[in-house]
Amino acid sequence: MNFIAMDFETANRHPESACSLALVMVRNNEIVDRFYTVINPQMPFDARNIQIHDITAEDVKDAPTMAEVWPHIKKLYQPGMLVCAHNARFDTNVLRQSLARYDLPEPHYFVIDTLQTSRLFEPDLPNHKLDTVSDALNVELWHHHNALSDSEACAGILIAQQREFGDEAIKNLVTQV
């Protein structure tokens, strides 16, 4: 399977406040490349968000904005590309709102949500949080709420589920953005 696993962290409750982004490129069920950056959201950080991901305004003061990051990654979001995320509604909304903030056009791609796949394929878990699912499937999650670690874990979850349940079961859960 070929796809990109995506994870954002935000500075506050606003989806356009992306402060870090990771993309993990998977080809033939193998991670072949990684992209990680902190992002200057140009807005205040909430203490609760800092507590979750440990990224502060000081950490991103010299970082690029999403408008500056986008030209380097937009080629990955071609029509037909499959993007996976754990709680994809959150991450796709962060991407959409962060681009809209800078009047950048929204890309169109296919998406699969490993939160949704985990609820379907792993119904007996106590919850379907990324760390719980990672543990259950023996997928490494080396630092929860670090965008790169979360993206790698998300990729590992989808790869494990595809191997166990097959392409058709996965394809049935893909939607278009």
Q: Cα 78 to the chain's mean position, in Å?
A: 16
Residues of the chain with pLDDT under 70: none
Distance CA 66, CA 72 (A): 10
Q: Return the pLDDT at 64.
A: 98
Distance CA 130, CA 153 (A): 8
Give me the pLDDT at residue 75, please.
95
Residue type, 32: V
Measure the CA–CA gap between 101 and 38, rounded to whole angstroms. Answer: 17
Thinking of the domain 3-176, which architecture would CATH place it in?
2-Layer Sandwich (3.30)
Q: What is the per-residue pLDDT for 134?
A: 98
**CA distances, 41 to each of 95, 143, 154 (Å):** 12, 22, 24
Domain-wise residue ranges, the chain: 3-176
Q: Give the model confidence (pLDDT) of 90-106 as tens digits.
A: 999 999 999 999 999 99
Please report where in the chains the tokens 């205040």 appear, as a residue.
44
User: 3-class SS at 62?
Assistant: coil
Helix segments in 17-146, DSSP class H:
47-53, 57-60, 66-73, 88-101, 114-121, 130-136
Res 122: pLDDT: 96
